[in-house]
Amino acid sequence: MGTTTLGSTLRSKLEEQHIGVGDEVVVPAYCDSEVAAAVREVGALPVFADVERESLCLDPASVAAVVSERTAAVIPVHTFGYPADMVCLRALAQRHGVKVIETEEETAVSSVETARRRQHAEFLSARLNGVIVPRAAAGVRHAYEQYVVRVPGNGRPDRDAFKQALRARGVPCHVPVKTPLYRLPEFRADIWLPETERATDECLALPLDAAMSRRDLQRIVSACNALGGLLMEPAC
């Protein structure tokens, strides 16, 4: 498998900061594996921290709990378009004398496509029921690169049943992160991060694209809301 653009960029940034063998780098366990893989490629050890429930981005408190004398850097990930808490993470990094390496550039001006996705997300969030819709904190500009809801219930069986039922109704939804990174063979670690576990069990990405029409969005709403009763059935 070839190295991704993100992986190559991160590896270059780590090398520029002279991070390598003997160093630890704190990364989220709820994200694509390419971030942790880039850390491994320079010889450093990825150390996993938990995410915040609302943002699904690195939780500064969890990062603080895993920082050690060997920690060289922290890599925040702006999850699904929700910006990580860079103010707290930079302050934490400064206190501990470690670097903050970002996975992408922050943009001050929103694109037309991003503005359109935000409008679509607002439409969905105002109308969906039976799922927990994403909410941005006051002052936070969510780009909605993916529109990720939570399916409440007793964990993965409920979410996966909901996913299959939506697909049967023509809604091409998917599970954005299927497994915490620390449970993958190449990154296995004997840890348990509760919010990461909860997110992998409950989260489902619904289709959201700037080019979608109001009719497209309404089809998603109708399909999801028609399945609301599915979540309320008692377990057998």
pLDDT computed for residue 110 by the predictor:
64
Distance, CA of 20 to CA of 17 (rounded, Å): 9
Write down the residue that tokens 């990461």 correspond to: 196
In this prediction, residue 154 carries a pLDDT of 53
* Residue type at position 21: V
- Do residues 41 and 186 make contact, with C-beta atoms less than 8 angstroms apart? no
Q: Residue 157 has what pLDDT?
A: 60
Q: What is the pLDDT of residue 233?
A: 43
How far apart are the C-alpha atoms of 48 and 75, rounded to whole Å?
10
pLDDT at 2: 42
Quote the pTM value: 0.89
Listed as ranges, residues in the chain with pLDDT below 70 are 1-4, 104-110, 153-157, 229-236
Residue pair 148/134 in contact by the 8 Å Cβ criterion: yes
pLDDT value for 5 = 77
Sign of the CA dihedral running 142, 145, 150, 151: positive
Q: What is the pLDDT of residue 66?
A: 98
How far is the CA of 212 from the CAs of 72, 119, 206, 220, in angstroms?
43, 11, 12, 11
Q: Tell me how far apart the alpha carbons of residues 25 and 78 are, in angstroms, rounded to a whole number.
A: 17
Helix (H, G, I), strand (E, B) or coil at 81: helix
